[in-house]
A and B are shown apart, each in its own frame.
Chain A
Amino acid sequence: KQEVTQIPAALSVPEGENLVLNCSFTDSAIYNLQWFRQDPGKGLTSLLLIQSSQREQTSGRLNASLDKSSGRSTLYIAASQPGDSATYLCAVDDNDMRFGAGTRLTVKP
């Protein structure tokens, strides 16, 4: 059974810092990997989707990488802002989508 792990569980940084969130998964036979953002009390907003054949995807200040062979993905956030404060969830699709527990990010002004 696929297991998804996210490190760290929580992260607090000052505004303007670049940061990296990590995601690892146990079964490399995946179709794709998706990063989501969840604000408190809200639903999940898709940030980036990486196909299994791709190495990375970029959207604005966000860049997600995928190394399927090693079972790892990273989400890079450049020039962090207080508005980036949220929980970031990594999910892998290997026929159904399994989620990590998330990284709770706080960006301090």
Chain B
Amino acid sequence: DAGVIQSPRHEVTEMGQEVTLRCKPISGHNSLFWYRQTMMRGLELLIYFNNNVPIDDSGMPEDRFSAKMPNASFSTLKIQPSEPRDSAVYFCASSLVGPPGGYTFGSGTRLTVV
């Protein structure tokens, strides 16, 4: 398995533009998680899905953020409109609910909003 695949690896965009981050989880995993990492706040859970259904989106900072999981092999995190304070590294992770558990992370998308 190629692991959790995220794209793009780097994204530079202007304030006000729409940004879409993509994630392909590990085949067979039934949970998917979006995290944001900044120096100030560390790793923050934004939202997670179980069997493609959003379970907890309480970490989504504002209505400008939205996430979808149309099928078991694909998820998007969208920011519209983007702001400079959204600059961070966004990680996607997947796991299989039940033992043994454990999360596998993608390599992340480094977002810079100028």
Contact = CB atoms under 8 A, between A and B. Distances in A.
Interface of A: 31-32, 34, 36, 42-46, 49, 51, 89, 91, 93, 96-102
B99 interface: yes
A41 to B, nearest CB: 8
Main secondary structure, interface of A, reads strand
A93 B93 CA distance: 13
Contacts of A100: 42
A95 to B, nearest CB: 8
Interface string B85-114: 000000101000001111111111000000
Contacts of B93: 44, 97
Contact of A96 (B33, B91, B105, B107): B33
A8 to B, nearest CB: 15
B102 A46 contact: yes
B101 A31 contact: yes
B18 interface: no
